[in-house]
Amino acid sequence: MATRAFSGSSRIMQAAIGLTLAVAIVGAWLAIHLFAMFAFDLTWVSLPVAVVMAVVQCWLSVGLFIISHDAMHGSLIPGAKRTNSAIGASLLFIYAGFSWRKMRDAHFDHHKLAGKAGDPDFDENNPTAFWPWYQTFLRRYFGLSSILLVSSVVTIYWLVLDVPVTKIVLLYGAPAIASSVQLFYFGTYRPHHHNGSEFPDRHNARSEGFGSLASLLSCFHFGYHHEHHCRPDTPWWGLPKERRKALNKGHSA
């Protein structure tokens, strides 16, 4: 994987920006979650507000994963392996009870074998079919630890803290499930699926033609996927710049 040499000042700036954005995303997710579970009154009148909160929470949940993904590549805080690991592991656990080491190793395998046999993110038996591939994706990544986390949270919220099941489903369960679909669709399926056209190079990845705002809203710029594979040391918020560089060079992948 390509890497970039960082000066001391650029490392500090990248870490400052990355951590500031991470705090904002995680803080917003936590604030909405706590408000939704313990302060918000879900009624038919307030249902539209609940739906908006669920949509925002879905997007922020994607953000939790993207931050942990940057931590895997060391681009959250350049040069701080232990801190990256601690932050990434915490967010992966909050997101879905994922194991940091398992997810990190699988992701590195994905970069080495992108779109080929052995790529844990790729379904070589269903390279064009969304739902069969998504089911394979779920089987590979959502295991016992995810089930234990979700069941524990639901049990405590419902039976101990007396949170209504409808709120748990609409404002915790639904955003979590929807975020997995969003991540898979924009971050795995669209960049790597076979659509009859050739991939530009060995990365077997393509990028979206979205503008920066649509790219941010769809998957925190993860749709600029070819740029990510070419420059995995670039943090999510730096991918639009890499995309512009690629387009200026005449690369449309």
Distance CA 103, CA 187 (A): 15
Distance CA 241, CA 245 (A): 6
Distance CA 28, CA 210 (A): 25
* Residue carrying structure tokens 């009154």: 41
Which token pair is 54? 């669920």
Exposed e or buried b per residue across 136-153, where buried means at least 16 C-beta atoms within 10 angstroms of its C-beta = bbeeebeeeebeebbeeb
- Tell me 187's DSSP state: I
Distance CA 8, CA 138 (A): 40
Number of neighbours of residue 198 by Cβ within 10 angstroms: 9
For residues 77 and 84, the answer to whether their CB atoms sit within 8 Å is yes
Domain ranges across the chain: 8-248
The tens place of each residue's pLDDT in the chain, 253 residues long, gives: 444 545 567 889 999 999 999 999 999 999 999 999 999 999 999 999 999 999 999 999 999 999 999 999 999 999 999 999 999 999 999 999 999 999 999 999 999 999 998 999 999 999 999 999 999 999 999 988 899 999 999 999 999 999 999 999 999 999 999 999 999 999 999 999 998 888 989 999 999 999 999 999 999 999 999 999 999 999 999 999 999 999 998 766 6
The 10s digit of each residue's pLDDT in 112-142 is: 999 998 999 999 999 999 999 999 999 999 9
Distance CA 178, CA 184 (A): 10
Predicted TM-score (pTM) of the model is 0.92
What is residue 235's predicted lDDT score, i.e. its pLDDT? 97
